[in-house]
Structure formats: C-alpha cells, structure tokens
Structure 1
Amino acid sequence: MKHFQQDLQRPKKMATFRILILGDPGVGKTCVSNLLANSPMTPTRSSRTVSDSEWTVQVRLHQYTPILECPPLPMEGLEGPEEPEERPAASGTMHFVEIYDMNRAAKECPGDRKPLYRKMDGIVLVYNLQDMESQDNLHDWMYGPLLEISQQRKRKRLLNHYHVPILVVGTMLDRLPERPPNRRGAIAHQLGVEEILIDCLDPNALGKGTRNQGKVSHFLNRAVDWMRSLE
C-alpha cells in the first residue's frame, strides 16, 4: 500500500490512523465511506480518494478530543486483559484518517491482506437494515481482521471491551416503513459498541451537531487513543 502514502502527500509530522470498512457487497459501504470522509477540507471524492483493483482509500482530517469517561467493564463471561496504559494525544491535535473500503474485485484476487489488517486502528461494520442476514454475516467479516489485530497487538481475547474500536452502521433507513426502536442491534450489543442508523443518500446523515456525528467523533477519538496506547 506504499503508493497510497505517496499519493496522499500528507505532512510528515501529522499522525495517521486507519479505519477498515467491512460488510456484504451492496449494503452501502461506499456510501458510508463517503459520508465518513466528507469534510469542509475534503468536500469531494476527487480531493480525498485513491483507489486500485482491491482497495479504495479515502482520507480526511480529524481533530482529536480526549474521551472523559470511565473504562467499561468486560462483557459477562469474557475476561479481558488489563486495560493498556493509555498515551492520549493532546486535545485539539489534528490527525489524518485513512478509510479503507474493499472493492468487490477483491474476491476474485484476494491476495494477502493480513499485513494491512494488522495496521488497523478501528473497524466500521456495515449492514442493510432490510436484510438481517447481512448483520449476521458481519461475524464472518470481522473475525479475520480482529484475529490479526489481536495477534499483532498481543491481545489475548477477541471479543472484549478492549478490542480495537468498532462502530456498527445500519443503512437503508429511508426504506423502512418505520424507524426501528432506539436500541442497539444484536452485533452492536454483543460487542458493546455504538450503532448508528442512516439513510446513505442523505448528505446530512452525519451532519454537524447530529447525534450520529457525535457517535462518529467518539469512535474516531477512541481509534486515536488505541493507536497512541500501542505506540
């Protein structure tokens, strides 16, 4: 992936963290990636996107804000490792975010993705609200990357509150006859992570001041903390 880093020409002293988008084909991963990467400084895809036959990578800037909260307890029945020593970044520090979205062509030429997975600092799991099978399939999509990250980062357990930060996104909200109850879906509940439900065609789905935008910012801040704690 060296050509991505060369093409993006980021400042040498600005830290970069990486987010992986996972989910079935057709659930709206590209739209989610577009929404996550869109910002006043990178308003159009042409100004923020690099692509090859296997991956599309979008880039944006994120201003880090420290997370002031008590660490969550491990989920029932799973004993997680001790919380790693955190080395939080300074408040207001700008970071580059690289958002990796696997192209459909990747299934034809899978290659070895393990080295890339090991460098991830966050995962976004995407499913279609109209197709609950696509939510069930997320377990298969995330297992390989979580295993590689866990082994690389010397984490003994995969499913605990100290795993790499994860955000769950349900798409096609506009196609449902009514909005689902205000509660987390099965996989978000299992992982103990935040979930957002969006209409991918709504450019303001992650707009400033919305609850969804707040959850995304929280997720990105946690990804920065994860990256910094493992340096």
Structure 2
Amino acid sequence: MDVLKTLRGGLVVSCQPVDDGPMDYPEIVAAMAEAAVAGGAAGLRIEGVDNLRAVRPRVTVPIIGIVKRDSADTPVRITPRISDALDLVRAGADVVAYDATPRPREDERDAILAAILSAGALAMADSATLEDGRSARAGGASILGTTLSGYTAETERDDPAPDLDLVRAFRALGGFVMAEGRYDTPALIAAALDAGADSVTVGSVLTRLEVMTTRFCAPFAARARQ
C-alpha cells in the first residue's frame, strides 16, 4: 500500500476517546475506527498499543499510531520514547507520529525519528513551528503535521482557530502536509485544503462524545441561568 497516496486528498479520523471515560476500551475504539472508515475516512490516528492491536485487523486503511504519556519531567506527551515508537510499529502502525518540538524528553526527538525509520514505518512530525517541520523533514519525516501549534508555551494563543499559516509554510517546504488541531467543521477542512494541506485530521468533534455533548448542552445551561 502506498500510504501517502492513500491519505492524500482524504480525511484522517483520530479515534481517541476521553481518557478513562466510558468509551475508553480497545473494542470500542476499534468500532469507532470501523465506523469512520465506513463513513469515508482515508486513514486513522490511533493512540495506544492495545487500541492499535484491536483496530489493525479490522481495517485496511493506513493507521497513524501514537502513544501518549504524562510526565512531571517533560511537557512532551506524544510518543516520547523510542520503545513507544517500536511498540507501535510492531502493533501494525503504518505511520508513527512523534512530538517534533525541541522540548526535552526521555529520548531525543531525532533518535525517536531515526528509530521509526529504521523499523520500516513512515514518520509523522507533530510540530508547533516551521522550524520543527524543517528539522523533521531534514531527518526523513514523511509527514509534517501542524498538530502542536497552539499547544506549546511558544505558540499558545487564545484564538481557537487552526493555524492555517503553518499549513502554508509547510506547503512551501515541500513533502506531505497534514493539517491537524482545531479542525472541527467542514469549512475549516476546506480552508486547510485551500492552504495546501494534503490531508486533514479530525478528532474530538467526531469521536469524543462527552466533549461534543458538553458543547451542545451549553445553550441549555445558559438559558437556565437567565
């Protein structure tokens, strides 16, 4: 399978339920994944080795795998260890996404990238800045993602809109551009494509029922306070 050709021009659905929520079970994540593919998703983004193992036999589309870890020692959460990357490849990930920012972590970002490539998978650089993407591309990452723009100390902002400027900047670098982060309407997906994205990842609005229910309940709560 030509992973990039399959993903180009298509939607990637991030099937990541709320941590420890009622849908946070591998069999439910696998059902979400199948439903997303049935709806037309060209690829999936799956967190956790157990979830990936549950999803892999049930779909044929490319899977972008990540492991999230919380640590008091580093703000990096996305695939912070070489061992995480290798576990994801063994579980069937076609692509492994990693935090491509220069922030310190247990294993250096360049070592994680090299491990992904050595294991035979493609690498997706979850980036916050143009320099993150430039460094990742030089190291061999196939996909540049805008995933972390707005979620690091350097890029944090109050504006809830996605970072279309970073999409444009990555387009100018060349390679495969994945728009990710705060894309929660079809109009924003169209804007990302217009800005040069090859693909767009959408998560919470599709797969986090608690988050979206809270959003839709807000008008009722506001009316009750009047």
Work out which structure has the larger RCO, using CA pairs closer than 8 Å and 6 or more positions apart in sequence: 1
Higher relative helix content: 2
* TM-score after normalising by structure 2: 0.35
* TM-score after normalising by structure 1: 0.35
